[in-house]
Structure 1
């Protein structure tokens, strides 16, 4: 490909991202205009139980997956302390299936009324949406960022962490990541809790493969908001990965990030469609192999039914490392920079790397990973570096952390108010 074609492709992808951003902005503006035109109905909090823990969620329906993964953890927390979910926009939580009380606070006054009248002591934030700063104005609670995954993406670390009283991270890898990237950041704000979501049972999404057939899970991420956060392999390697795996006799399960399916990037859309076509062809030619596409459901529910994972730099690879340390991982590198990948993503040191030099041999890499698994022994140490806890510990650590925050808040308020 010549430089002119490369530049045109980059410009096209950038234009698509800008267009997607404008569409989301337009949706937000329309929502605000509708809200402004809707007659004001006073927020009725009468009869509501006190809730010392609130989860503030904003950002739009397209990022609701960030909240959904926390619901089972919040259900467990709620067996000890009442929890409430608070949003500013009705569409952010419309149709949310949960027994946790959900409140919509359209105005800043409503939001503060919820916190004050329900006695909220700790506010949890599953993302870094701009609207979080409206909630951070409230002074009588501790504000805790819990994020929505653990990964080596650039987006996992930003100066927005400085806005919160505490930041929950999975393990030492995240602590080191923040220490390397941020200027004058107090790492004492970071609290290691593991990944409580991973300690909860999940309904399996996959039946066993037929005898003699190994299952490959290809679970790529999306493009991110900008080039530095783009780790997807769908456009550069996806179709080749899937075709080579199918040619090698593997059952392939394709479970892309939800935002791959709604991408505005032409190259990613084309790659996604090519993957779908390859799997559909396999299902016609060899239906008993049961290769399949999973666009819904929790990716964690697939892990017990697969033998090897092919993933990008994302939370999926690390979640798999935690839950299936016995199974090999292939990690993609769209930038073809092995040295940078090893520094930015330590998990790559215990994974086979798929890049421009190896993608054509993915079938061979998969066979080698399953037959010899040269990284098996080292995966345990890397897993401990990322998570620092065993299965079952994270849920307890997270609940105890929230309870400490509640106590710390009470002490701080008493000290402030004399």
Structure 2
């Protein structure tokens, strides 16, 4: 058995080497053919992750593109596979710098006033050594997940948050953290500039967005409903003939626990069979589009404690927030899960009655206040403008000190 494992490890290593060399050749060819960026950059997104986490930066394309109209923005990446993937889809210039010395030399030629971070990758600290720019954590989605109240936030000059709810959450959960100094409220600018998506039939079907999060990498982060809720819920929705499901799984589904990968495949198979039996249903398995367009076309959303739930909440349309099945999951009852009813696994087969209750029950009257508490002004364009204004102020200040 030891020999087999060794051979498997060798084969994996060889495959990775071949892929890495292929990506390096692809990037070198691209670099040789593209014109050198003419502008001097004034802001940057630092993204050290592999392509599996591209969803984290994709939602920032449009807000950052708008910022780049006044303060040119570049994306700095460490992973060559990520660079190759971004070169074809990212609207911002992509700069591949695998070594920190390259970044140091590059910064000396620029006027970088702010560096933005969309996750808590430990490699971020290699970039944060540079003193001149402001280092800003913008995350990849507002939520009540335990991740959103990390002590790591103390390392950044600023953290951009959605609104008052995040301000209160961090006050409850972080010790000796100066919220007024480090936090800036911007709402959710991504919602103001949704990306284009596929067209759906214009018919009488009610569109249900089901967007479960991934299983998490520790018991306290087990928020996904894919194993606990999905089987019975999908069957109930498909059976009506009156609903169209947009299934949007988290890109990391099944990375830690194969049971979630199997559950994902089962949902895909169920929707494919439903489409074959009823072509007019047009259920959609959406695994590769940039998230955001789904919010506008969906009539109701089933989401876990995650950024998807918060983004959909801002639409004012019915939201079913799932109750984590694991007793080990960290649920903030002072957050959204304590303000609206949650959707338990034992209710999954009765999802239609739950939707009706959420759409017409007592929570509907409080939605407007809840949305304001989490996001502030949700008038179209208001969040994007707050993001641009706050970013502009920080960048200009750092360029003059």
TM-score, with length taken from structure 1: 0.82
* Residue matched to 2:226: 234
Instruction: Check if 1:363 corresponds to 2:352.
Output: yes
C-alpha contact 2:214 2:252 (8 A) present in aligned 1: yes
* Residue matched to 1:269: 261
Displacement of 1:204: 4.0
C-alpha contact 1:210 1:288 (8 A) present in aligned 2: no
Separation in 2 of the partners of 1:122 and 1:356?
44
* Residue matched to 2:3: none
The 3 A distance-change label for structure 1 pair 243 and 60 is same
Task: Show the 5 A alignment for 1:325-404.
Answer: 325=316, 327-335=317-325, 341=331, 343-346=333-336, 349-350=339-340, 352-370=341-359, 372-390=360-378, 391-404=380-393
Displacement of 1:255: 1.3
Displacement of 1:280: 2.0
Gaps of 5+ in 1: 1-21, 414-418
C-alpha contact 2:247 2:285 (8 A) present in aligned 1: yes
Compute the RMSD of aligned alpha carbons.
Answer: 3.0
Displacement of 1:46: 8.1
Displacement of 1:55: 1.2
Give secondary structure in 2 for the equivalent of 1:309: strand
Separation in 2 of the partners of 1:307 and 1:154?
28
Displacement of 1:340: 7.5
Separation in 2 of the partners of 1:205 and 1:282?
19
Displacement of 1:349: 2.6
* Residue matched to 1:8: none
Displacement of 1:209: 5.2
Displacement of 1:26: 8.0
Separation in 2 of the partners of 1:258 and 1:340?
22
* Residue matched to 2:189: 196
Task: Show the 5 A alignment for 1:85-124.
Answer: 85-96=75-86, 97-124=89-116
Give secondary structure in 1 for the equivalent of 2:216: coil
Task: Show the 5 A alignment for 1:251-330.
Answer: 251-260=244-253, 263-322=255-314, 324-325=315-316, 327-330=317-320
* Residue matched to 1:166: 158
Give secondary structure in 2 for the equivalent of 1:95: helix
Separation in 2 of the partners of 1:358 and 1:251?
20
**Residue of structure 2 aligned with 1:145, choices 137, 141, 160:** 137
Greater relative contact order (CA < 8 Å, ≥ 6 in sequence): 2
Separation in 1 of the partners of 2:163 and 2:125?
26
* Residue matched to 1:3: none
Displacement of 1:347: 5.3
Which is worse superposed, 274-283 or 361-370?
361-370
